[in-house]
A and B are shown apart, each in its own frame.
Chain A
Amino acid sequence: MKTKGSFFSTKYFTLLIIIVALLVIFTVWSKGQMIMPINIRNILNNLVLLGLIGIGACYLMLYGELDISAGAIGSFAGCICALLAMRMGIPSAIAAIIAILVGCVAGLCNALMINILKFPPFIATMSMSYILQGAGYMIATSQGISIKKLAFLNFIGDTKFFNGLVPVMIIITVLFLVVYGIILSRTQFGRTIYLCGGNRRAARLCGLNPKKLSYMLYINSAFLASVAGIIYISRVKTALPTALTSFQFTGVTAAILGGVAFGGGSGNMVGCTLGMLILAIFNNGVSTVGFNANYTKVFNGVLLIIGLALDAIAARRNAKKVVATSLASAKTGKKEETA
């Protein structure tokens, strides 16, 4: 019984309640359209991209930094893949791998700018996102490159298992979520991220190498974004240079809604996944009910700010608690001394 009781008091429970509430509200509001199979597939499709980009964002935020170029990297990788496969006739599987590598190089450039030139991560990734967007336009123009008859991409985009209910992309995403979740919570490497995010100096004094970790995490974020980009083009069949730009800070929003602290050091993959679900359901619900994309933009901004405000309030409360406990321990310590 004890475990159950503790579950009800955790934030996962709150997040689950929010998810259920959102589902119910939007289902009633849209007169049942929300839970039609076709709409649920829309939610899942959105969740695939959100999930992949969100994992990278979650890892980086645990480390205490952020990457807003993920959307641009994904779009660019999609363009590169389409360019190689459609215009140069390279087999699509190899094209996809090359595109992912190119994306990783962009991530490496981010990390170089941040670690060597000491740019704030925000500005470095923002300039990277402009550069890649421009480059993407130069490759694919605003019409995009359409994709036809590519075995590998079609396999990723169209194959569905279990009577056409579960698309391959969902399986890939869930796999990524589970693997990254396990790495984060069960391995030494995962703990390193927490330590570096919580207190970088302490981590360095412990003999860890935060800089090396930073390189890995930025490349990782770019890698996941590129995978998302390739999944996107394989589903939509067109590579657009602006395909994923709306994902500029959705990853951050998802992570923060899921309880990852903005300064780094606390939060986990389960919370983050629930945050992604909230965001995906919310966005889909808003459009299903009949608001247009502009409202979604407004609501996303509001959600981000609410998440940030809650995070800041929680951080302040935590700080107070730490001060209180250390004061209390100092008092008891003195008493012991006098005794």
Chain B
Amino acid sequence: MNKLIKRLTGSRNFYLFLFTVLIIVIFQIAQPRYLSADNIRNILYSVSVTGILMVGIANLLISGNMDLSAGAVGCFCTILGCKLINLGVPWVLAVLMTIGMGICCGLLNAFMTYKLGIIPFIGTLGIASVWSGLGAVITKQASVTLTNEAFFKFGSTKFGIIPIAFLYVVFLCILYGLIMKYTKFGRQVYMCGGNRVAARLAGIKGERIGTIMMCNCSGLAALAGIVMASRMHLIHYQNLQDTSTMGAITAALLGGVAFGGGAGGMLGAFIGLMLLNCFKNGIDIIGCNEYVQILFNGVLLAAAMAVDFFNNLSRQKALKAKNAAK
């Protein structure tokens, strides 16, 4: 028992969890409606789309890369996917094709980064502008409405207050958590992010891992988009743009994923995601308008980066202490 407590108090995720609970308690006191069944469902809904996006982006960050186009890619692929469904393509096939298109977009990002040598930060920003512009052009700035009843079940089935989309997120988090922690590939991703040169000298192909992670991120972004479309029964060209991408990055950083790569895990990222969405929903429910939320997007992003900065400091301190002890 003592050992368990020691392990708990020693882990950052535990404090993050406590902080999340604290936020929930505060909002519950401020607005008793906060923990009603309806609102919990709302929170879980909002978690689900950002969550799928976040899984891809968090793993990409761990590998030491960056993709700011994830939201735009997700939206663009989903628009095409929804058009396919409306054309009569079976929805399972259409979903798979959407994810496939996402992966192609990821390949394009990887090509830009590794073959053309463009810094992913600014390159993917340019690409994001291309995809979101194209999305608007294709849909003529209207939303694509869906009528396929069978497809709606994919994203809008509910088990009590738990929407199925939330279960997808949980499943993905567990899956990727296991892959990253217990497989050779996962460890290689960490190593690539932690020290690229050392990874190369150890015989790890950094470009290949980067390419796989980028495709993975874009593919998951497409999945996020199609899940959202299935829940809302439509897709609009302004859905999932850079605010969603930044939201996902913020969640991952809050959860302890290192911005430069090489550290962090899916459990932390998941708690970070819950923290972010509980907070955003809380602000909404105590009656602040959407403008305040835009402001808080920025504040939270800065806060998340500050968390990352102090994480780094404490990691360095721990390393120094270890070296001194030796």
B123, B129, B295: the one within 8 Å of A308 (CB): B123
Q: Which residues of A sit under 8 angstroms from B117, Cβ to Cβ?
A: 309, 312-313, 315-316
**Are A308 and B291 in contact (CB-based, < 8 A)?**
no
Query: Is residue B305 within 8 Å, beta carbon to beta carbon, of the partner chain?
Result: yes
Which B residues are in CB contact (< 8 Å) with A297? 129-130, 132-133, 136
CA distance A55 to B266 in the complex (A): 42
Q: How distant is the Cα of A313 from the Cα of B293 in the complex, in angstroms?
A: 41
Q: Chain A interface (Cβ within 8 Å of chain B)?
A: 66, 113, 117-120, 122-124, 126-135, 137-138, 141, 249, 252, 262, 292, 294-302, 304-305, 308-309, 312-313, 315-316
Which residues of chain B are within 8 angstroms of A119 by Cβ–Cβ distance? 302, 305, 309
Interface class of chain B by DSSP: helix
A300-B298 contact, Cβ under 8 Å, with A305-B123, A308-B118, A315-B117: no
Residues of chain B within 8 A (CB-CB) of A296 are 133
A79 to chain B, nearest CB (A): 12
What size tier do the contact residues of chain B reach? 35 or more
Say whether, besides A117-B305, A119-B305, A316-B117, A308 and B122 are in contact (CB < 8 Å): yes
Q: Is B97 an interface residue (CB 8 A)?
A: no
Cross-chain contact A130 with B133 (CB below 8 angstroms): no
A295 touches B126 (CB 8 A): no
| A and B contact pairs by CB, cutoff 8 A, 19 listed | A66-B122, A119-B302, A123-B259, A133-B298, A134-B294, A137-B295, A249-B125, A262-B119, A292-B137, A294-B133, A297-B130, A298-B129, A298-B130, A299-B133, A302-B126, A304-B122, A304-B129, A308-B126, A309-B112
Checking B126, B293, B298 against A304 with a beta-carbon cut-off of 8 angstroms, the contacting residue is: B126
Query: Closest approach, in angstroms, between the C-beta of A35 and any C-beta of chain B?
Result: 27
Given A262-B122, A301-B130, A120 contacting B259 (CB threshold 8 A): yes
B309 touches A301 (CB 8 A): no
B195 beta carbon closer than 8 Å to chain A: no
B136 touches A123 (CB 8 A): no
Identify which of B133, B293, B299, B302 contacts A298 (C-beta below 8 A). B133
- How far is B291's CA from A138's CA once the two chains are assembled, in angstroms? 6
B295 contacts across to A, CB distance below 8 A: 130-131, 133-135, 137-138
Instruction: Determine whether the beta carbon of A301 is less than 8 Å from that of B294.
Output: no
Q: Name, among A122, A130, A313, A315, the residue most crowded by chain B CB atoms within 10 Å (CB to CB).
A: A130
Chain A nearest Cβ from B261, distance in angstroms:
12
CB-CB nearest in chain B for A306 = B126
Q: How far is the CA of A128 from the CA of B302 in the complex (A)?
A: 8
